[in-house]
Structure 1
Amino acid sequence: MPAWGSVLKADEINNLSDYLLGAIENRKKFDFTDSVKSNIFQHASMTVKLDTIAKGLSNPWGMAFLPNGDFLYNDRNGNMYRQSKGVQNLIKGVPQTRVEGQGGLLDVELHPNFATNSLIYFTYAKSKDSLSTTALMCAKLVGNTLTNQKDIYVAEPWKTTRIHYGSRIAFDKDGYLFLSSSDRFQHMDTLPQKLDNDLGKVHRMNDDGSAPKDNPFVNTPGARATIWSYGHRNIQGLFYDAATGILWANEHGPRGGDELNIIQKGKNYGWPVISYGINYDGKIMTPYTSKEGMEQPLIKWVPSIAPSGMTIVTGDKYPTWKGDILLGSLRFKYLDRVHLTGDVPGDQEPLLKNVGRLRFVKMGPDGYIYVGVEDPGFIFRLVPSEPLAQ
């Protein structure tokens, strides 16, 4: 055992001490000892019942709602399904994807004008020999078949790692497409801080993959024109709030330091220069938690909850949750409710404790909340319910 006083600087010792004390204190909040015994979940804010929409899946990763009431969803194992009146139909024409590590078939969204053009967008791990990368494909959905498939974005550079593909998709009210691209687990690689590559970024593009003329770095020599923000590690949740025009994102830190951010044009979110986390082996990755010109998270989670898909509650079915953020926790297997006052996060409430690794959260056009849970894979609809009799 080394003499840490001679190994670490004073500020590094303080940072590590703060981290460990915070982790011990905060982890108690997530020690859920009770296993799930019912599909009724009682919370201080309200009670909900889980209706099973789909089962028999592996890792349901993304979901979209078709205008006729059908569900479209991706399983990370490479299968895309269209569910109509309770019947699962396998979609033909899905490209071959690298199902390894965290790779596979990932997010899916409809074009804002899907009702007239039948276009869908989805992300997947694209493979080339020993390398892989994040790709965004646009295709036309005709019945249960994809046609006119085209990769409109392929992240550069390709990597040998099999994790941190990122790739959440969100459209804004003007029809621009936002896409997250993560750092591919190159911890000390400075690619997220450089503008000449696609990794560790949020991208903004037209519906054909081209860069809008008002993107922040479109006239910067050598920069990737689609970059909207940079300095990201592994964004797993991305949501555009049409009511406020705010683009929300959550991302994984290393050990500790998960973040909730508002994504803004041209901003630098700091990774890997600043972080509230440490390496998985306990080593200090960076002595800095802040630097001039780098954004601070609105929420930082220590210990890491591994946040995933997210939404903001709308409509009147969940009155006590209306206007709040819901996001999944992969690590602690619950749904996190973050109370919002305007754009300021407040108290958090863990919901659906021990429901499973919660990968996505979506508001359906019917006003209900839908969640995807992994291993085994289910899709549930949350229905407000009366509390169980005591």
Structure 2
Amino acid sequence: MRSALTLSATSLLVAGLFATGPALAQAVRTVPTSAGPVEVSRFADGLERPWGIDFLPDGRALVTEKPGRLRIMARDGSLSPPLAGTPKVFNQGQGGLMDVAADPDFARNRTVYLAYAEPGEGNGGGGTAGTALGRGTLGERGIEDFQVIFRQSPKVDGGNHFGTRIAFASDGHIFLTLGERFKFDPAQKRDNTLGKVVRLNRDGSLPKDNPFAGEGRTAGAIWSYGHRNVEAAAIDPRSGALWIGEMGPLGGDELNRPEAGRNYGWPVVSWGKHYDGRDIPDPPTRKEFADAAVHWTPVISPSGMVFYTGGLFRDWQGSALLGGLSAKGLVRVAIDGASAKEVERIPLDARIRDVAQGPDGALYVITDAADGAVLRLAPAK
């Protein structure tokens, strides 16, 4: 869950909407960890490039598929057919239907947020695109009354670096992470929202206390800037601070704790190099830029993150667990205030796109594959 939600037994979809048949869970293997042996089960199957997962108060979960589908995963691992009412997406390159998050007051308002690559006006399968955030109500047949509440600007060509993750702050604001669309320099400018973390009210309006609120609507959305491609984000429940996992170029993935108004340096500085091998100055050479709390070379390709608070893995409580596309597993990072240190890797032999904590305290991760799955991690019996 992206926020604390009260468990509810209320069913929001008719029972016949779910796929029939036995539960899909089956043991895959047991892996050694600092918390003891962990059983990895293939909990749900048959997903095409799943991208985001978030649990509902009643124990079911919403799962997105990059081509544009949203499904509900039942408590036994069965999957609904694609829900109606989702937006048209730009399903090219890294774009598509990406993150999903239930509103902190979902039990009352049934609101669901979707982040996705939105095609530009009038282009049929090509042209420009940009990340968008919208919300609607989960009803009996799918998403109802879906409305876009934020659009990245400007829309540009290309299929890379859309971001994106949704995180709800403890005060109810939304953080949305936005890639720089592989355009480099715009990440350093505040006249656009490429390479930014933006902070919004839940209806898409702009908080008056955002750091650049006096510079106009575009800059007024920005929380921090100088980012490259952020596909991992989570709130530390102990401090309320936002943490993000950011993909570097050739090396130099970063874990950052974005602060209001700070510039994180891309593309002027980086712990990595350009893909052609050209050097990029390291962050400490430019004191005006904020440096990463942790950086990785070789890269882990962070995607998805959760702070663990459950009871099944007591040794992991308070740790951040990041999905790793290149790392092919989970990367556990110990957080102490503003300091962070990698302490463990949990190998899963799959590209991990997102990670969530279930109401049962187990970890659920989704695999980035054409035949993607939801894996469940729990202590071995």
- TM-score, L = length of structure 1: 0.85
Match of 1:363 in 2: 357
Q: Measure the CA separation in 1 of the matches of 2:298 and 2:280.
A: 16
**Residue 88 of structure 1: SS of its match in structure 2?**
coil
1:323 alignment partner, one of 318, 321, 324: 318
The amino acid of 1:270's aligned partner reads G
1:134 alignment partner, one of 131, 148, 153: 131
Q: Measure the CA separation in 1 of the matches of 2:91 and 2:172.
A: 30
2:186 alignment partner, one of 191, 194, 198: 191
Match of 1:61 in 2: 51
Q: Which moved more, 1:113-122 or 1:48-57?
A: 48-57
> How far is 1:285 from its partner?
4.2
Larger radius of gyration: 1
Q: Measure the CA separation in 1 of the matches of 2:87 and 2:133.
A: 11
Matched, 1:149 2:149: no
Q: Measure the CA separation in 1 of the matches of 2:58 and 2:320.
A: 27
Q: Measure the CA separation in 2 of the matches of 1:341 and 1:288.
A: 22
Q: Which moved more, 1:248-257 or 1:135-144?
A: 135-144
Q: Aligned runs of 1:105-254 on 2, under 5 Å?
A: 105-128=97-120, 129=123, 130-187=127-184, 190-221=185-216, 223-254=218-249
The amino acid of 1:133's aligned partner reads G
2:79 alignment partner, one of 76, 81, 88: 88
* Residues 22-52 of structure 1 deviation map (CA, whole Å, 9 limit, x = unaligned): xxxxxxxxxxxxxxx9421122442111222
1:102 alignment partner, one of 94, 103, 127: 94
Match of 1:344 in 2: 339
Could you list the structure 1 runs, at least 4 aligned residues long, displaced by more than 4 angstroms after superposition.
285-289
Q: How many percent identity over aligned positions?
A: 39
Q: Measure the CA separation in 2 of the matches of 1:288 and 1:295.
A: 8
Q: Is the 8 A contact 1:272 1:286 kept in 2?
A: no
**Residue 51 of structure 2: SS of its match in structure 1?**
strand
Change (3 A) 1:343 1:363: farther
Q: Measure the CA separation in 1 of the matches of 2:152 and 2:284.
A: 28
> How far is 1:303 from its partner?
1.4
Q: Measure the CA separation in 2 of the matches of 1:65 and 1:287.
A: 39
The amino acid of 1:294's aligned partner reads F
Task: List alignment gaps of at least 5 residues for structure 2.
Answer: 1-26
Change (3 A) 1:147 1:231: same
* Residues 215-267 of structure 1 deviation map (CA, whole Å, 9 limit, x = unaligned): 11001257521110111000110001222111000100100111001111111
1:267 alignment partner, one of 258, 262, 267: 262
- TM-score, L = length of structure 2: 0.87
> How far is 1:175 from its partner?
0.8
Query: RMSD over aligned Cα, in angstroms?
Result: 1.7
> How far is 1:286 from its partner?
4.6
